[in-house]
C-alpha cells in the first residue's frame, strides 16, 4: 500500500504532549482516531492490527496515547473518563487544525473503556461522523448516550456476557443510527481465531458507509 503520509507525532493537548502515530493512505476517505482501553497505548497489537486493515481500505488512522507515561503510572487516571474524553476531544481538534486535514471526515474507534470516552466526545462534538466500539463500556457514558448523533456500531463477543448485556442496554439508550454486532465465539479481547478479523471487516464496512464521502477541497 502506498502511503501519502505516515509519521510519529507529539500532539500538544493542554499542558501535555501525547505520543501518536498518524497514517494517511494515498486515497484516504476519512480518518479514524483510536481511543484505547485502560492500561493500553498506541502500541496495542489489536488496535494496530485494526488500524493497518483500515489503511488497506483507504482510511487514515491516528493511534495515540491518551495519557503521558507519568500519568499512566497513576492507576486511577486510566479510568478517569472525563480526562480521557478531554484528551480525545483535544486531539481531534488539533488534527482538524493541521494543514490539509480539515477536508477529511473523522471517526472514532474505541476499545473497552476507550469506547466510553469516544461516545462522550462524540456527544459533545459535530466533528465525528461515525463511532465503532470494540468490546466497549458504553455504560460509562450513560448520561450522554441519548445525545450521541454519530452513527454508532457496538461490536461485542458472544462470550463476553457481562459486557454484552451492558451494550444491549446502551443500544436502547442511543437515539442515533445504531447497530449491535455480536461476534460468535469471541471473548472480551477477541483472541479467538478469526474473531479480530471479523471486527476489522465490521468496522471497515461501518466506516465505509458513514465516513467515506468525497473529501472537500484542500484549505487555501
Judge whether residue 219 has pLDDT over 70: no
Q: Which one is predicted more confidently, 3 or 220?
A: 3
Q: Is residue 109 part of a domain?
A: yes
**Looking at the predicted structure, is the pLDDT value of residue 4 above 70?**
no
- 131 in any annotated domain: yes
Domain span including residue 67: 3-210
Domain-embedded: residue 218:
no
144 in a structural domain: yes
- pLDDT at 42 (0 to 100): 73
Does the pLDDT of residue 40 top 80, yes or no?
Answer: no
- Let me know: does 120 contact 150? Beta carbons within 8 Å: no
The answer to whether residue 219 is domain-embedded is no
pLDDT digits (tens, 9 = 90+) for 68-109: 878 877 777 777 899 999 999 999 999 999 998 999 999 999
Position 76 in a domain: yes
* 189 located within any domain: yes
Number of domains the chain contains: 1
Does 215 map to a domain?
A: no
* pTM of the full structure: 0.92
CATH, residue 174: 3.40.50.1820
Confidence of residue 129 (pLDDT cuts 50, 70, 90): very high
Amino acid at each position: 500500500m502506498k502511503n501519502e503520509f505516515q509519521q510519529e507525532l507529539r500532539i500538544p493537548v493542554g499542558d501535555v504532549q501525547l505520543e501518536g502515530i498518524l497514517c494517511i493512505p494515498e486515497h484516504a476517505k476519512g480518518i479514524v482516531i483510536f481511543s484505547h482501553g485502560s492500561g493500553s497505548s498506541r502500541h496495542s497489537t489489536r488496535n494496530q492490527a485494526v488500524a493497518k486493515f483500515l489503511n488497506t481500505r483507504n482510511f487514515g488512522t491516528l493511534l495515540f496515547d491518551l495519557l503521558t507515561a507519568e500519568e499512566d503510572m497513576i492507576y486511577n487516571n486510566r479510568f478517569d473518563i472525563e480526562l480521557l474524553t478531554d484528551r480525545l476531544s483535544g486531539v481531534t481538534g488539533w488534527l482538524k487544525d493541521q494543514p490539509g486535514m480539515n477536508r477529511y471526515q473523522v471517526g472514532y474507534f474505541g476499545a473497552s473503556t476507550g469506547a466510553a470516552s469516544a461516545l462522550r466526545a462524540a456527544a459533545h462534538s459535530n466533528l465525528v461522523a461515525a463511532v465503532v466500539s470494540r468490546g466497549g463500556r458504553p455504560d460509562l457514558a450513560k448520561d450522554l448516550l441519548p445525545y450521541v448523533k454519530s452513527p454508532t456500531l457496538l461490536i461485542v463477543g458472544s462470550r463476553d456476557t457481562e459486557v454484552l448485556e451492558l451494550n444491549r442496554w446502551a443500544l436502547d439508550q442511543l437515539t442515533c443510527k445504531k447497530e449491535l454486532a455480536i461476534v460468535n465465539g469471541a471473548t472480551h479481547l477477541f483472541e479467538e481465531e478469526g474473531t479480530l478479523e471479523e471486527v476489522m471487516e465490521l468496522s471497515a464496512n461501518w466506516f465505509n458507509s458513514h465516513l467515506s464521502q468525497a473529501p472537500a477541497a484542500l484549505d487555501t
